[in-house]
Structures are given as C-alpha cells and as structure tokens.
Amino acid sequence: MLDRLASETLAALGRRGVGVSFALAGGGSTALSALAGCEGASAVLIAGRLAYSRKAAVELRGFDSAAGFCSAETALDLALAAHDSAVALDDRHRERRIGVGVASALATFPARAGRDRAHLAVVGDGSARGWRLELDAWPGDRGRQELLTGAAALLAAWRGGGCGPHEPMGPDGLAEALSCEEQDPAYWIERVVRGRIAWARRSPDGNWSGRGASPTAVLAGSFDPLHDGHLGLAAAAGVHLGKPVELELSLQNVDKDRLDLSEAGDRLAAVAGRAPLVIDSAATFVDKSAIFPGAVFVVGADTAVRIVDPKYYRGDAGAMQTGLDRIRANGCSFLVSGREIAGRYVGFDQLNLAVAPDLFAELPEGAFRLDISSTQIRARRSARRGGGGGA
C-alpha cells in the first residue's frame, strides 16, 4: 500500500515539476524508503534527513526551542528547514520547491508518558499547512505507527505540491487518524520576534506562511483599531497601483514599545478574514525596504512628513539622507494619501517633500480621502467610557 502511495505521489509531483525535501524527527522514515524505491525518484526527491535523538532534532531544526520534541511548532520548524534546504540546493525553481516536516512520538520501550502521535507540516514558497496524526488506536505497534506516519508524510507532500483533490489511497485507518491542525498565530509572532524569519503572511482564510514572494504594495500601521479607513485606503491604492495592497503590522515601532504577544494577537484577530496581513519587526521604512525590496508603501500625509523629517533620524540630516538613499536603492517608493493633520485636511500638494521627490507619488484625493485616524477613534472610545457611555 505504501509503495503505491509513494509511486503515485512521485508521479504527480513530477508532472508538476515539484521537488520535495523532508526533515523527519522521531519517525516517518518509511516515506523516504518508499520514495527512494521508485523509478525517477531523483527527479523529485531532493533530500531527506532523519533525526531520532533530541540533539539531532535540534540540529535538524536549526535551533533549540521550548516547544516539545513532538509538537505542531516543531513540525513547522522542520518543514521550514526542509524548504530552505530544497531551495538552497536548487533555487532556480523555488516556487516549485516544498519542504515536509514530521515530528513524531511513536511507541517505544520502555514506554514513555504521553500519547502516540505525529505532527506534520508542509511549507511551499507561499504556503504552510499542518496536520495531526493520532496513533492511539495502535498501542505498542511501532511498525504500524511508522507505516502510517510515512504515509501521512507522503500525503503532506501530495497536498503541498498541489497535486489535486483525488488523493491516492493510504493504509487502512489513515484517513480517520489524520486531521488538519490550525496554525497558532503565536508561533509566527514568536518566530518573527526572534528573527527566525523576517516576516510572515496571513491570508484572509487564516493560512500562514513565512516563505514566498514578499509584498509589492504595503499599508503599514498599528491598526489600533483597524477601521474602514484602513481598508478603504488599501482598496483605493490597490486600484490606483493595479495590484493588491497588503496590511503590514510591525511588532516593533519607532515611537512605541514592542507589541507583546497578547496585544499582537488582538490586532491579528481584528484583521482576521478582512484583508491579507504581513507581520515583521521592521520598525522603520528603511528596515521595511530591506525585507520588502521593490515595494510601494502606502502612507498618509502625516507619515510622509515624518519620513523626510531629521527629527525621526535622531536629528541627523545626514542619517536621514542615508536612509532615503537606502530606500531608493532597495527599489521602494511611497504612495501618499491626503490626511487630516491638526484639524485640517492636508493634501499631497501641500507637503514639502523636496529632499526626495522621486520617492513620493500622490494618491489623488478623488480616489480616496481619510478624515479620521485610529488616534481619534481611540480618543472617542475613551471619552465615551469616561462619560458613562453617553453620546
């Protein structure tokens, strides 16, 4: 049964030109042996690494973590490492490279505490998915558990490679034991904060990814709170630019403390399902330009003024010019929307952007006009609370 699953998976991946790398901890080796036994395996199977001891798993993962050896977090880390390996070995077709990670706790002797299970993940150039495999129905039967874990790893490769809905048949019991695993935003927040990945993207359907093409048009903000003005500006800018604009939430801000996990989670929850969102730790537009080369940053007039104000470069005009030069060198620019500043509406033509006019372009007032800010919304909410909820 596993040989047929491996053969059909290999053929389907081959037809799509997809190459796969595996990083397996604690189990799943049957996937590698089954694939290696198929003709044409070298055209699809890029690499396969297997770890059993904790130290070996840490090496395979690339770093140690508080997350358990057998966890969804470890499976994702392994999948990311496998994807990086696949791309490093052949980066000509990175959009067709996937990494499969498996973190298993199978039956062993002497018996250990905890349930027999495996967590699996697959990472592509712009996607990440995860599953949980429950193995309690086969207590003590490591051979059967290993077979099922290997089969699940092959199915993860099939799904990650976009091979279609008509999946090959797996061993008896696999379908009932395998379930989708929701991705925890805290995982992606923690990886960004620790610098394991430069940025992560969440699509409106809730899927996360730490790989893929970086955004080409970005609306940065704290989104505290997210309001219709943000969404309207992103939509109008997208029409003007002819490409989608993604919201960007930096976990680190020049003027504010780093967002803690709870705050970041609240902001993410507010955006959920309403727009694509990227998170990062890039506090300044100079930093953002380095991780989003070629991007257009959509900003309000108030932000545009700060970008060319030496005060925001510690009073150093030379540092400001160097920063603007770096933004330019990274191929980035700004699309500026008019904004209410100090009680009056300020349009693009009223701004003094002479130090770097080539970096700024106007989003016409006819395309979008914003007369309220998150700061004003927070102030109104605070006033209502202080006034006992009156109008």
pLDDT tens string 45-101: 999 999 988 889 888 888 777 667 899 999 999 999 999 999 998 777 888 999 999
Provide the pLDDT for residue 345: 82
Question: Confidence band (pLDDT; 50, 70, 90) for 389?
Answer: very low
Higher-confidence residue: 245 or 125? 245
- pLDDT tens for each residue of 219-229: 998 888 888 88
**Co-location of 264 and 298 in the same domain:** yes
Domain stops at, among 160, 182, 204: 182
Phi, psi values for residue 287, rounded to 5°: -65, -40
- The residues, ordered by sequence, that sit 6+ positions from 187 with a Cβ below 8 Å of its Cβ are 72, 73, 76, 208
Residue 125 pLDDT grade (very low, low, confident, very high; cuts 50, 70, 90): confident
Examine the domain organization and report whether 219 and 137 are in the same domain.
no
Q: Say if 82 falls within a structural domain.
A: yes
Tell me, yes or no, whether 390 lies in a domain: no
Tokens read off for 188: 């992606």
Task: List, in order, residues 6 or more apart from 362 with CB less than 8 Å away.
Answer: 335, 336, 348, 349
Residue 243 placed within a domain:
yes
Dihedral angle computed from the Cα positions of residues 173, 177, 135 and 146, in that order, rounded to the nearest 10 degrees? 60
Residue 308 has pLDDT above 80, yes or no: yes
Which one-letter amino acid corresponds to residue 114?
G
Work out the average pLDDT over 346-355: 90
Q: Are residues 106 and 202 in the same domain?
A: no
Contact predicate 216/248, CB 8 Å? no
CA triple 21-26-110, angle to 5 deg: 170
281, 283, 285, 289 alpha-carbon torsion, rounded to 10°:
-20
Same domain assignment for residues 178 and 327:
no
Residue 244's identity, in one-letter code, is P
Judgement on whether residues 240 and 278 belong to the same structural domain of the protein: yes
pLDDT of residue 375: 54
**206 and 87 within one domain:** no
Q: Is residue 233 part of a domain?
A: yes
Percent of the chain with pLDDT over 90: 64
Is there a single domain that holds both residue 64 and residue 96?
Answer: yes
Query: How many Cβ atoms sit within 10 Å of the Cβ of residue 374?
Result: 16
Confidence at 346, pLDDT banded by 50, 70, 90 = confident
| CA distance readout (Å), 307 to 126, 145, 303, 371, 379 | 31, 58, 6, 21, 25
For residue 341, what are the β-bridge partners? 344
Largest interatomic CA distance in the chain: 75
Q: What is the pLDDT of residues 254-287, one digit of tens each?
A: 766 788 888 888 888 888 878 889 999 999 999 9
Answer yes or no: do 110 and 95 share one domain.
Answer: yes
Residue 389 lies in a domain: no
State both tokens at 343.
């009680």
Residue 370 pLDDT: 63
Q: Does the residue 391 lie in any domain? A: no
Q: In CATH, what number is assigned to the domain containing residue 114? A: 3.90.950.20
Q: Mean pLDDT in the chain? A: 89
| For residue 19, pLDDT beyond 60 | yes
Confidence of residue 390 (pLDDT cuts 50, 70, 90): very low
Q: Give whole-number Cα distances, 260 to 252, 266, 287, 374, 375, in Å.
A: 10, 10, 20, 19, 20
- Count the helix, strand and coil residues of the chain and give each as a percent rounded to the nearest 5: 40, 20, 40
Residues with Cβ within 8 Å of residue 195, at least 6 apart in sequence: 281
Residue 334 has φ and ψ, to the nearest 5°, of -125, 140
State how far Cα 214 lies from the chain centre. Answer: 10
| pTM assigned to the model | 0.79
Residue 65 lies in a domain: yes
More confident residue, 334 or 193: 334
Do 208 and 98 fall within a single domain?
no
CATH code, domain carrying 214: 3.40.50.620
Check whether residue 358 and residue 224 sit in a common domain: yes
| Residue 98, amino acid | I
Lowest-confidence region among 31-35, 59-63, 235-239, 308-312 = 59-63
> Do 308 and 336 belong together in one domain?
yes
Does residue 141 lie in a domain region? Answer: yes
CA pair distance 165, 160, nearest whole angstrom: 12
Domain endpoint, select from 182, 206, 237: 182
Final residue in a domain of this structure, among 154, 182, 210: 182
Predicted pLDDT at 239? 95
Domain span at residue 214 reads 186-384
Number of structural domains in the chain: 2
- Do 202 and 343 reside in the same domain of the chain? yes
CA distance 119 to 101: 8
